[in-house]
Amino acid sequence: MSNYSFFEAQKWAFSYVKKYRLEKAAVDLLLCGEMGYSTTELLVHLRDEMPVEHWQNFRTNVELYCQGWPPQYLLGQASFYGMRLKVTPDVLIPRTETEELVDWILEDNGQRAQKVADIGTGSGAIGLALKSERPEWQVTLTDISDKALSVAQTNAELLHLPVEFCQGDMLAPLPDNNYDIIVCNPPYIARTEAPVMDQSVIEHEPHLALFAAEKGLAMYRKLSENILSYVHPGAKLYLEIGYHQGASVTGIFEHKFPSAEVTLKTDMYDNERMVRVIFE
């Protein structure tokens, strides 16, 4: 045994991360993740002695976190839409704001069966969340990265969610051309924004999934040029965007598809973060 209770381990970690002016919330994330506990279970066991092997792993992870490593990569997992997903440095860590994009799609489309494609799926977060909530939907996940697609495949297997996988660039690998819903959270950060980004993101998350040319708009333009070959009248495209890209992204699709209905949606913080295109 470690001779440390969970409370004492937590107290040590809070003090350690404070020196680096980092988030104390990461301590509980690492502690719960190390033990496989929920927050409630951690409270129940707080005065129990922590097994020495777990204490050593936890201490190492706290130190690595203070060196800039994201806690989710240290644990090899992240939570998204009630799911526990495997994550590695080959995929972006799914963000809570992306859950709002999933909410919008589900609220928008009811229970009727849909044919869905999640483009640039990464860990599979969006597509797997949709399949989990709507088992009757036919969902295909694509990614240009074979390593990312392997992570998504592992997550689908662990969650027992039957979806299809295709490797390739954007829409190109899709097996057919008649989708009801296409969703994409593409790379949308301009390289010029790197100096103001969190250093841990720059150092550890995959640049292929972060940065895009043309001031971050390249993938939206590419989608606009090719998407009509994959959708039918009434089909919907859902996009996550950078908080300052609302006018630019809606402008791309309004110009390309004058008769389409293009809607810009804000997130819980009132930032413009989502776009929907309904094709005529």
Residues belonging to the binding site are 120-124, 143, 185-188
- Letter for the amino acid at 204? H
**Nearby residues of 184 by Cβ (< 8 Å), 6 or more positions away:** 118, 119, 120, 170, 219, 223, 237, 238, 239, 240
- Which residues define the annotated binding site for S-adenosyl-L-methionine? 120-124, 143, 185
**Sheet harboring 261-266: ordered strands across?**
164-167, 138-143, 115-119, 179-184, 231-240, 272-278, 261-266
- Which residues define the annotated binding site for substrate? 185-188
Task: Return phi, psi of residue 188, to 5°.
Answer: -140, 15
Among residues 161, 128, 165, the alpha carbon closest in space to that of 150 is found at: 165
- Give the residue ranges of DSSP H helices in the chain: 6-18, 25-35, 39-45, 52-66, 71-75, 96-109, 125-133, 146-159, 199-204, 218-226, 246-256
Strands 83-86 and 164-167: unpaired
Q: Which two tokens stand for residue 38?
A: 């929920």
